[in-house]
Amino acid sequence: MRRREFFGLIGSAATLWSLAAYAQQADLIRKVAVLMNFAADDPEGQARLQVFLQSLRKTGWIEEKNLRIEVRWAGDNTERCQQYARELVDSAPDVILASATPCLAALQWVTRRVPIVFANAVDPVGAGFVTSLARPGGNTTGFTAFEYSISGKWLELLKELAPNLTRVAVLRELYTAAGVGQFAAIQTMASASSAGVELSVIDPADASGIERALAAFAHEPNGGVIVTASTSTAAYRKSIISLAKRYRLPAVYAFRYFTADGGLASYGPDTIDAFRRAAAYVDRILKGEKPADLPVQAPTKYETVINLTTAKALGLKVPPTLLARADEVIE
């Protein structure tokens, strides 16, 4: 064999080996898609995503090393959520993380094959996303936001903050299972209360509609507001918080980040923790486990948060007993 041919064969073999090694390395890179129900510039949404990614790194999944992440930010837009769900499924991910109920619903409409892990979805059994909490079945599992029964505690908390309260406007999405379930629990608590409280409903369909409804509600005295958990209330939270202050309406919210943004008080689960725990399920699925075998889990902790600055602005004196049992007091 001639010397030139010999080195040519060695060069060809080296090239083939390099291509094979590259292909093997590419096979080791797994893909995780993420569909978020926040706008891309929302600090709460960014905080949840970062905790998810940090938790994945702790289990050994490093971006651009053995993991590729594709994220879509749907915000409070049903059509965009459905579009992004199709795009993400078409990108052939190994697992998809769904943030809250609207994203989960959109993804399940597109696929019953690709594994889905949800975080902060409400009543996944009642909504038909899983067969049961213990045995979810199908391609979906994850972490719930809360049980409907805690919705009644929002009314209890509001009454503690404003004892003279006789009227409560409940912001909830009218045509969703979660909206119906949360309002039903508040109704049950209102019926059981010795002090009569009249409930009314506001659908947070758009910012102008919320403003008109709250302005009309505030014309009569002794009113307060409960802001239930939904993608719409999250999207319009700064407007809702501002309006509650403007019309001097004490308001209780479902999650801490509302209170951190200036809301009066909140009672609910740690929303960030659900994304930390979701990373562990994504890791297990990437390593070969099936969503059907991973039970749906509930929050491990609920927290009461009081914003004293807002309370003072509304002329409210927070009872010392409530301050003592609050998990966090913002001043």
For residues 60 and 206, membership in a common domain is answered with no
Task: Tell me the pTM.
Answer: 0.87
User: Would residue 312 count as lying in a domain?
Assistant: no
Maximum Cα interatomic distance, the chain, rounded to a whole number of Å: 101
225: containing domain: 148-253
For residues 20 and 125, membership in a common domain is answered with yes
Strands (E), 183-227: 198-202, 223-227
For residues 188 and 160, membership in a common domain is answered with yes
| Element (DSSP H or E) covering residue 99 | strand 95-99
| Element (DSSP H or E) covering residue 19 | helix 3-28
User: Would residue 230 count as lying in a domain?
Assistant: yes
Check which CATH number belongs to the domain holding 39 and give it: 3.40.50.2300
Look-up: residue for tokens 């809250």?
100
Secondary structure in 3-state letters for 127-192: CCCCCCCCCCCCCEEEEECCCHHHHHHHHHHHHHHCCCCCEEEEECCCCCHHHHHHHHHHHHHHHH
Number of domains in the chain: 2
pLDDT per residue rounded down to tens, the chain (331 residues): 554 544 444 444 444 444 444 334 445 899 999 999 999 999 999 999 999 999 999 999 999 899 999 999 999 999 999 999 999 999 999 999 999 999 999 999 999 999 999 999 998 998 899 999 999 999 999 999 988 989 999 999 999 999 999 999 999 988 788 889 999 999 999 887 766 799 999 988 888 999 999 999 999 999 999 999 999 999 999 999 999 999 999 999 999 999 999 999 999 999 999 999 999 999 999 999 999 999 999 998 899 999 999 999 999 999 999 999 999 999 9
For residues 30 and 137, membership in a common domain is answered with yes
Look-up: residue for tokens 């009309």?
216
Helix axes 43-58, 271-286, angle to 10 degrees: 40
For residues 142 and 152, membership in a common domain is answered with no
For residues 166 and 237, membership in a common domain is answered with yes
Q: How far is CA 134 from CA 219, 298, 304, in A?
A: 48, 11, 28
For residues 249 and 177, membership in a common domain is answered with yes
Q: How far is CA 129 from CA 94, 137, 197, 313, in A?
A: 19, 9, 34, 43
User: Would residue 324 count as lying in a domain?
Assistant: no
How far is the C-alpha of 195 from the C-alpha of 192, rounded, in Å?
9
Q: Are 305 and 259 in contact (CB under 8 A)?
A: yes
DSSP state of 292: G
For residues 132 and 187, membership in a common domain is answered with no
For residues 54 and 82, membership in a common domain is answered with yes
For residues 91 and 216, membership in a common domain is answered with no
For residues 17 and 137, membership in a common domain is answered with yes
How far is the C-alpha of 243 from the C-alpha of 168, rounded, in Å?
15
